[in-house]
Amino acid sequence: MAPPLSAGDPDAGLRPHDHYKIRLPKWRYSLRQKLLPLIRWETPYLAAIQESLRSDPLDTYFAITANLGTHTFFMIFLPICFWLGYTEFGRGLVHVLASGVFFSGFMKDFFCLPRPLSPPLHRITMSGSAALEYGFPSTHSTNAVSVALYSLLVLRDNPSIPDDQRIIYIVLAALYATSIVFGRVYCGMHGFLDVVVGSILGVILALAEWVYGPLTNQWVWYGTWVAPVTMTLAILMFVRIHPEPADPCPCFDDGVAFAGVVVGIEVGQWHYSKTSFGWNTPVPATVPYSFQSVGLVSTSLRFVMGVAIIFIWREVAKSVLLRYLPPLFRFIGRIGLVLPRRHFIDAREYKSVPSHLPDETIPPIGQLPRMIRRGRSDSVGPQSAADAYETLAFRERKRRESLGQEGMSPGSRSPVRSPLGQENGNNNVNNSLGGYVQQQQQQRLKEEEEEKASEETYEKQERDMLSQIEKPRVRYDVEVVTKLLVYSGIAWWAVEGTPILFELVGLGAGQPGADK
């Protein structure tokens, strides 16, 4: 557990190196300090790469392709896999993406390592929240590599696909992964260590899903209620042990959202496989779909209806939960069962929660046009508390190096004349020694005054920089459970709720259970 902080512990009053030393357990801080020099060593090389390659077309390309690795893209794309009947493939993608978001976020909040320094780097992005996260490792790289590799493994075991199409899919998967991974370096969002470790994590997760995913699927489809309950409890345990970051970071929120998705998928798939609405071919809990029988119009209507239901559920469920959960949390807190997290306000400390809190994973319907129109941004300078502290640490190092060089320069030292070299007797020796001591005292006083003035200037710069960083919004303890329930519901609607509605309103692939 991280050391407790007092309520009046202002960020702006802390030294950059003390900030993390105070807020992190000793062993985590020690690990962070071992990796930090690698992050700093990369900066000039990253800046050289960016400066030599940058152009407007590449800026636009890498900023747009980065959106294909975001949580918002996958939250909209994944339900479509299930609605088109690709159940096993959809489950595999959910597992690798959810585990990728969770474990990369776990590592980010564990190490609290900054993104590459800006300046000299430019941050090119279309996301409003990516720069607020820590840098190590790259979640985009983890997602891109895991999705591409898992897709290629599925492709390898599907001999019915013609060779020419197979080549196209391989090229697309490789282009997808390399564009996102290299794009994170090009856009100044990550360094070499970030994308390498993120990519390795993606490979591990894709291979793990390929080996163990079928066993998990069989357990859920053919097992009793014990299967989804056990998986839900395991997921909640992982959410509970997510490390506390030193600064406000959305990594935990993203991990909770995808944890909720997995819970909803497992519960929904388990129950849907027991109903007469799903097909058993090619696997249990397959949503009935055939383009020949459904047609283009009905397929399009399925997409519109399904996405609309997801957004409506999100709006309604979130508003209801944020209204009625705080009293429950206050009751739980009074009996001593509260589980506090840093940067989240306890329910006993507020009266109500705003009904429309921002959500970067799936934004409200009203924000979609603005998100679509939002262009790429090119920013220079700190964008988060972690950025600011790293910039201040850089300035502190430069300042100390400058002071050290001045202290060692010949002009800054007074010549030392040994009193033993005097030839005018003890009286002259004593006079010389007294003058020398007085001169040294005056020199020390002058140096102390200069250092104090430099220190005051530095502290003012520190306060000014931290005051310019956009303060994170107030976060409430009920948001964690709200996000879990909302995204569990989104996943349930995707794999069971909307498929049943498709059949009931005539958008299905025939009579329910016809392929059973």
- Where in the sequence numbering do the catalytic residues fall? 140, 190
Q: What residue spans of 56-135 are helical by DSSP H?
A: 56-66, 71-83, 87-111
**In 3D, which of 472, 93, 500 has the Cα closest to residue 258?**
93
Contact criterion met (CB below 8 Å) for 314 and 485? no
**In 3D, which of 131, 132, 137, 103 has the Cα closest to residue 242?**
103
Contact criterion met (CB below 8 Å) for 169 and 149? no
Which amino acid belongs to residue 507? Answer: L
At 145, which helix (H) or strand (E)?
Answer: helix 139-156
**In 3D, which of 396, 384, 363 has the Cα closest to residue 245?**
384
Burial class (CB in 10 A: 0-12, 13-18, 19+), 131: buried
Report the 10 Å Cβ neighbour count for 209. 23
Q: Omega of the bond prior to 248 within 30 degrees of 0, cis?
A: no
Which amino acid belongs to residue 475? Answer: R
Residue labelled with tokens 């030393």:
21
Token pair in block for residue 402: 């400058």
Contact criterion met (CB below 8 Å) for 167 and 226? no
Contact criterion met (CB below 8 Å) for 88 and 58? no
Q: How far apart are CA 245 and CA 378, in angstroms?
A: 27
Token pair in block for residue 489: 């519901």
Report the 10 Å Cβ neighbour count for 356. 12
Looking at the DSSP assignment, which residues form a beta bridge with residue 33? none
Give backbone dihedrals phi and psi of 55, rounded to 5 degrees, phi first.
-160, 160
**In 3D, which of 209, 215, 231 has the Cα closest to residue 142?**
209
Q: How far apart are CA 258 and CA 238, in angstroms?
A: 12
